[in-house]
Amino acid sequence: MRRPVGLEKDRGTKTPLTFEFASVTDWWKPRKILMTVLEVLQSTTAYFKKHAIESPRLNAEHLVAHSLGKKRIELYLEFERSLSEAELAPLRDLVRRRAQGEPLQHLLGTVEFGDHVFLSDKRALVPRPETEQLVEYLCDLTWPAKPRMLDVGTGSGVIVLSLATRFPEAELLAIDVSSEALDLARENAARLGASERIFFIQSHLLNQVEGTFDLIVANLPYVGRSEELSAEVRHDPAVALFGGNEGDELIRELIITAPNHLHPGAVLALEIGHGQSVELSNFLSEKNYHDIESKKDYSGTPRFLFARYG
């Protein structure tokens, strides 16, 4: 338990209370002795380390700042401020849920992606940093003055909305099989003032899509049904995770159907799973795609495939 060492008298003066921690979860218990912002951060960080939470200090800072209605940077100016029980109470629940594997983005209700902050919750896959790199690759390509772009499996809409901000003249369509994911994407579009620029359609892959495009980009489910997933990943919707028994079935289906919706020489861009690059590259070649290129993510893993058709 955290306990006061006690008030010590020295020539008639009192020294401040100091504390020793016997348990990293001690601050969870309602108590009369107050803790400072720094003490809560340290205790929470230690608790997250014990539960193998990646980037424990960063997670602790995000949750404490969120609970207090502050920016992370503002915490550093308040390290010595004592927190009341009313301030600690809501934080306890957030810390418990994070330690159990609930994604930080779900607890915060938002996710940073590129230059924007998007809503994030259980309706769609939590956007990964690798997908930011996919958008960067797309922005480095040369496009027509008014490109037509299609985002397949849009989820929370981070890809199509990022493209909307980078290509203000683009005509944009986003599709997803999940009506809940589309609702979230529409909410994000409204937050960015892009609702009038993007058409959202519920569709299994390209079944409900008409017309042709300069780009079809897809971050489809690519996990096999037998693969073991972390507790955190399991909070994502199953429809956004599993691509079939092998994992790449939906990607292969898109590769087959995409040519009917690509302008001559247009680009198909895919985010794929670990170990899928070689076989899917060969499959693209079999289906008469050309200029096939595999690109790596930040960790050096082949994560993206780019190909042209016609």
The verdict on residue 38 lying in a domain is yes
Q: pLDDT-based confidence at 31, cuts 50/70/90?
A: low
The verdict on residue 207 lying in a domain is yes
Assess whether 81 and 228 both reside in one domain.
no
Residue 291 pLDDT greater than 80, yes or no: yes
The verdict on residue 298 lying in a domain is yes
Residue 67 pLDDT greater than 80, yes or no: yes
% of the chain exceeding 90 in pLDDT: 86
Assess whether 200 and 85 both reside in one domain.
no
The verdict on residue 120 lying in a domain is yes
Assess whether 219 and 290 both reside in one domain.
yes
Residue 4 pLDDT greater than 60, yes or no: no
Assess whether 92 and 231 both reside in one domain.
no
Assess whether 55 and 143 both reside in one domain.
no
Q: pLDDT-based confidence at 10, cuts 50/70/90?
A: very low
Residue 28 pLDDT greater than 90, yes or no: no
Q: Which of 100, 133, 165 is the last residue in one of the domains?
A: 100
Assess whether 133 and 92 both reside in one domain.
no
- Please write the tens of the pLDDT for every residue from 117-141: 999 999 999 999 999 999 999 999 9
The predicted structure's pLDDT at residue 32:
55
Assess whether 76 and 187 both reside in one domain.
no
Q: pLDDT-based confidence at 207, cuts 50/70/90?
A: very high
- Which range is least confidently modeled, 4-8, 75-79, 220-224, 272-276? 4-8
Assess whether 238 and 142 both reside in one domain.
yes
* pLDDT (mean) for 96-120: 96
- Which range is least confidently modeled, 58-72, 176-190, 227-241, 275-289? 227-241
Q: Which of 78, 100, 122 is the last residue in one of the domains?
A: 100
Assess whether 149 and 191 both reside in one domain.
yes
Range with the largest mean pLDDT of 1-15, 23-37, 69-83: 69-83
The predicted structure's pLDDT at residue 27:
52
Task: List the CATH number of the domain containing 42.
Answer: 1.10.8.10
The verdict on residue 287 lying in a domain is yes
Assess whether 33 and 74 both reside in one domain.
yes
Q: Which of 80, 100, 120 is the last residue in one of the domains?
A: 100
Residue 5 pLDDT greater than 70, yes or no: no
The whole domain housing 84 covers: 3-100
Distances in Å between the Cα of 216 and the Cα atoms of 70, 128, 148, 205, 307 are 39, 19, 9, 11, 10
The verdict on residue 251 lying in a domain is yes
Residue 235 pLDDT greater than 60, yes or no: yes
Question: What is the count of structural domains for the chain?
Answer: 2
Q: pLDDT-based confidence at 163, cuts 50/70/90?
A: very high
> How does the average pLDDT of the chain come out, rounded?
90
The verdict on residue 105 lying in a domain is no
Assess whether 67 and 140 both reside in one domain.
no
Task: List the CATH number of the domain containing 156.
Answer: 3.40.50.150
Assess whether 206 and 172 both reside in one domain.
yes
